[in-house]
Chains A and B, each alone.
Chain A
Amino acid sequence: MFKTFPKGGIHPPENKITADKSVIVLPLPSTVTVPLNQHIGAPATPVVEKGSAVKTGQLIAQAKGFVSANIHSPVSGKVSKIEPVADSTGYKQMSIIIDAEGDEWVETTDRSATLVKEITMTREQIVERCRDCGLVGLGGATFPTHIKMTVPSGKKCDMLIINGVECEPYLTSDHRLMIEKGPEVLTGVTIIMKALGVTQAVIGIEANKPDAISTLAGLSKEFAGISVVALKVKYPQGGEKQLIKACTGREVPSGGLPLDVGVVVQNVGTAFAVYEAVQKNKPLIERVVTVTGKSVSRPGNFLVRIGTPVTKLIEAAGGMPDDTGKVVNGGPMMGKALAMTDVPVTKGTSGIILFPEPESRREEMMPCIRCGKCSSACAMGLEPWLLSVLSEKAMFEKAEADKITDCMECGACAYTCPAKRPLLDYIRLGKTTVIKMVRERITK
């Protein structure tokens, strides 16, 4: 049978409506809003001023500090404003607003579609290029890629795992990328393998994407060391630790990193971006976003420039249906509802889902009956009901002892709870508080 991770997991309805919809290139927007913090870590510092003329792909904000990423102009035109703009959370953050005029690219980027398989760069050059091009993990966590490509001294890496799982229902952007850009993705994987100095790479894909599995398995014969593993459909298989367990049987220790078991995990989207950055010198200025929903008239996968307003994406998918109750940024399990649709697409936007009103509402909360369904669903082997209560009652020391920081916020517990308790809401609160507490303890 197909491989999978052993502990917990759920299987929500897949609803992959857009699985057979080819990626459509979205027309250029007239203005883009580029937030300076689209990644985990410190916000980038702008290197352009109001009124500066910029070209597509030009550096507009420089990474600040080690954990940070460069940001490039997604369009050519003029910087109209640099001011705080509300992002997808509703909070304001510094953003560069550019009025687009034409689409003039920086000369260094190779815009031809020819496949370049030969890797001429050295390991250091590859990491350097990924940093310059502002690459971040495109699975959603947006961790700067160049850091993950550098194996710290004292750690050993012997395997690369590529995450093609896309276990979130509805989303199909990675799926389409694997089918349409197979050779590029595999070249990207080879580049990452070279940067890490490993000879072995595994691409994990869930069994509900047989076309992607066969495409990549067929193509991978031409690439040394790459194999494709079909995995059982189970959420949250896309979680780093779950994917490692499913593909290799290795278990990342609590509080540890994949490197502790000699593995680095990258998303297929990231592998494609690495290919474009290294072989074509193209910075990360566009990505594939799935726009979907049961009542959306033309759901699809769109290649959009970063900074495009979400409203434009919804228009391209046939406009917002009248019965829309909630617009979710990301997957239905881990994504966040948008407070308004007038927010820009960022490097971490993998999908926009429009839920009809009846589906969008949470059901009435009831008391916990200690049925233990959440504990069975938890892929990390935690007790969500307990962690949730501890966080609610501000017993953070106890929550820390019960490993609240191991939670990856997949939401399987809240999904499965028959009492409809907002388990994840409280766990997330507890987790952030505990992390802050631990940090303060270290600095003391």
Chain B
Amino acid sequence: MSSTVLFTIIMLSLLGLLAAVILYVVAQKFKVVEDPRIDLVNEVLPGANCGGCGFTGCRAFSEVLVRSDSFEGLNCPVGGSETMGKAAVILDRQPVAVEPKIAVLRCNGTPEHSQRTSNYDGAMNCRVAHALYGGTTACHYGCLGCGDCVTSCKFDAMYMAPVTQLPVIIDDKCVACGACVKACPRNIIELRKRNRKDRKIYISCVNKDKGGPARKACSVACIGCGKCVKVCPYDAITMADNLAFIDSFKCKLCRKCVIECPTGAILEINFPVKEEKPAEHAVTEVN
């Protein structure tokens, strides 16, 4: 009886010892040395895994940050300068100032502006619709309204407006990760510089047709007349393929182009109401 107990104890001890030796050898053989700073950087990143930085997730981005010599060209659009500053402290690098951005929708083809010429009956997916045909309006550059961008947004910063049939970007929530830009098969969404009080001036149209057909398809289309290019004092506006483009980094928000545009394709958003227009309004404010 006692010999059985003794035998069992000896056997188990030997087995345990053997396993310990094997585990030790394996652990030494397959040891992975990881920079402990990766974990530290990963902790300060937002953890949204949105891919806005251009890498597969926050972990991948922290590995890139630790490996790289400088922060040039690297940015977390969600955390912005604050997060990048924290990462810079951990890694003892020079933080690179990056302008915060915001997504804007460059289409204003609401049913009011752009007449519907057909109904779309297929799968509610912009890429499917885009591959299939020109769209429900005569403009085959504009928004298809199936909401791929809204589905792609991980920050709840977009929704489809039922009246305009266009997606709406909520300024406060948008982090400019660029997921919607990639999702849109028609390249309507653009990342622009985020200005004070989220003020925006941009061409809300991507139609590259000549003036006549563009205007026929949509009343607020850019007809490529070039008036805005001439009036801009900062050379911020360029014209290519009958379509104007305002460089958001050159634009000083003077709003001269907005008044000049004959079709109203240039939108000004989040600006206070102009003083000269409603006179009574100005008076009440003074009082």
Contact = CB atoms under 8 A, between A and B. Distances in A.
Contacts of B118: 90, 337, 339-340
B132 A336 contact: yes
A370 interface: no
Interface string B129-165: 0011111101010000000000000000000000000
B125 interface: yes
Interface string A418-433: 0000100110110010
Interface residues of B, number: 17
B122 to A, nearest CB: 5
A337 B121 contact: yes
B230 to A, nearest CB: 27
Nearest to A327: B118
A50 interface: no
Contact of B128 (A89, A340, A429): A429
Interface in A376-435: 392, 422, 425-426, 428-429, 432
A425 B123 CA distance: 6
Nearest to B185: A429
Nearest to B136: A339
Interface in B107-134: 117-118, 121-123, 125, 127-128, 131-134
A422 B123 contact: yes
A429 B140 contact: no
A428 B140 contact: no
B133 A428 contact: no
B131 A428 contact: yes
A31 B209 CA distance: 23
A221 interface: no
Nearest to B135: A90
A425 B125 contact: yes
B133 A426 contact: no
A426 B121 contact: no
A86 B131 contact: no
Nearest to A92: B140
A361 interface: yes
**What are the 5 closest A-B residue pairs judged by CB atoms, nearest first?**
A90-B134, A422-B123, A425-B123, A339-B118, A90-B133
Interface of B: 117-118, 121-123, 125, 127-128, 131-136, 138, 140, 209
17 contacts: A86-B138, A90-B118, A91-B133, A91-B134, A92-B140, A92-B209, A336-B132, A337-B118, A337-B121, A337-B133, A339-B118, A360-B121, A362-B121, A422-B122, A422-B128, A428-B131, A429-B127
Given A360-B121, A422-B123, 10 more contacts: A89-B132, A89-B134, A90-B118, A92-B140, A336-B133, A337-B133, A339-B134, A340-B118, A426-B128, A429-B125
